[in-house]
């Protein structure tokens, strides 16, 4: 299996980034990732200087043979293993609590088991997810702290082991990169970090041609989502809802009115994160809706 070391990291998604590895459609590839602190923050709160040599580093990019602009890159998350510890650091400058936070408190947690011990009374179940995963945009360079139509820092806690992410291909080879693993993160990521850790992500990548995916899209635990980012939550909500509406119109015989009614009845609109330079929302539907119309996701 092809393995990409965490020596090969970048702080941006760009069509100009030279690929660090190359694979065929259908191959399985392992990405070793650094944590969002560029592996520089220590459990006692000290940092290995220079602090954050790279902001939110992502490993890659991977060139997938045969991927052409207009295709979709299917990324099945086969396996995620994480480091034995994870870190959090309070932010005094951003997030929902910046004015309440008194100092940049750091906590380290043991992530070797099924749970983290948060306090003597609270054990929290680990549910590891990928914060940053994306392809290259067509012309722009987007920093890895920003999400967008290419994916990137979506911080969607449904991007977990066993899920399948569908990303747009904007440039030949797609240029896939990923990083910013969280051992656990709530919807919103309101204090600006999850339980940040590094690890290894094994994915199987496949080039999909001619299927109208509402990218970035995700199949996870019996649900299908479109994940969209914008300047405000209002705009992101509208974008995610409309992407799903358009998808339903394309793959079912339902008209715009019935698709809109359906989403108003059973659509699952949720906040992924409110702390990145663009805000991210997902619109989800039950897989059973696709099954009823015999829509098979590629
Ligand atoms: Ca993130
Ligand atoms: Ca993070």
* Ligand number with the minimum distance to the CA of 134: 1
Q: Give the β-pairing of 164-168 and 217-220.
A: antiparallel
Q: How far apart are CA 294 and CA 27, in angstroms?
A: 27
Considering the four listed CATH numbers 3.30.499.10, 2.60.120.580, 1.10.287.3610, 1.10.1740.10, the one that applies to the domain covering 2-208 is 2.60.120.580
Q: Where are the domains of the chain?
A: 2-208, 217-292
* Ligand number with the minimum distance to the CA of 33: 2
Contacts of 33 (CB under 8 A, 6+ apart): 6, 57, 58, 59, 178, 179, 180, 181, 198, 199, 200, 201
Question: What class is the 217-292 domain?
Answer: alpha beta
For the chain, helix (H) and strand (E) counts, in that order, are 3, 23
Residues paired with residue 33 on neighbouring β-strands, in sequence order:
199
* Ligand number with the minimum distance to the CA of 156: 1
Q: Examine domains 2-208 and 217-292 and report if their fold is the same.
A: no
Cα of 90 from ligand 2 centre, angstroms: 12
pLDDT tens per residue across all 298 residues of the chain: 999 999 999 999 999 999 999 999 999 999 999 999 999 999 999 999 887 689 999 999 999 999 999 999 999 999 999 999 999 999 998 899 999 999 999 999 999 999 999 999 999 999 999 999 999 999 999 999 999 999 999 999 999 999 999 999 999 999 999 999 999 999 999 999 999 999 999 999 999 999 999 999 999 999 999 999 999 999 999 999 999 999 999 999 999 999 999 999 999 999 999 999 999 999 999 999 999 999 999 9
Q: Are 125 and 160 in contact (CB under 8 A)?
A: no
Q: How far apart are CA 169 and CA 281, in angstroms?
A: 21
Flag whether the pTM goes above 0.75: yes
């Amino acid at each position: 299996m092809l393995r990409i070391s965490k020596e090969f990291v970048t702080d941006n998604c760009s069509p100009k980034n030279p690929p660090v590895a190359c694979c065929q459609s259908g191959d399985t590839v392992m990405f070793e990732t650094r944590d969002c602190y560029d592996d520089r923050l220590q459990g006692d709160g000290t940092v290995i200087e220079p602090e954050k040599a790279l902001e939110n580093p992502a490993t890659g990019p991977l060139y997938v043979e045969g991927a052409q602009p207009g295709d979709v890159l299917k990324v099945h998350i086969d396996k995620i293993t994480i480091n034995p510890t994870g870190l959090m650091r309070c932010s005094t400058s951003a997030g929902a609590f910046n004015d309440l936070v008194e100092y940049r408190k750091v906590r380290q947690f043991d992530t070797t088991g099924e749970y983290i011990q948060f306090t003597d009374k609270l054990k929290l179940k680990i549910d590891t997810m990928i914060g940053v995963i994306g392809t290259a945009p067509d012309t722009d360079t987007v920093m890895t702290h920003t999400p967008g139509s290419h994916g990137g820092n979506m911080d969607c806690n449904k991007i977990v082991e066993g899920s399948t992410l569908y990303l747009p291909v904007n440039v030949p080879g797609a240029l896939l990169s990923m990083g910013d693993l969280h051992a656990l993160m709530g919807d919103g990521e309101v204090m600006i970090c999850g339980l940040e850790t590094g690890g290894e992500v094994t994915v199987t990548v496949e080039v999909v041609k001619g299927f109208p995916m509402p990218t970035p899209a995700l199949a996870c635990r019996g649900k299908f989502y479109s994940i969209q980012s914008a300047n405000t939550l209002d705009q992101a909500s509208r974008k995610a809802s409309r992407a799903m509406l358009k998808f339903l119109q394309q793959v079912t015989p339902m008209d715009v009115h019935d698709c809109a009614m359906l989403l108003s009845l059973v659509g699952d609109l949720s906040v992924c994160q409110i702390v990145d330079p663009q805000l991210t929302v997902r619109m989800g539907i039950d897989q059973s809706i696709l099954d009823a119309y015999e829509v098979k996701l590629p």
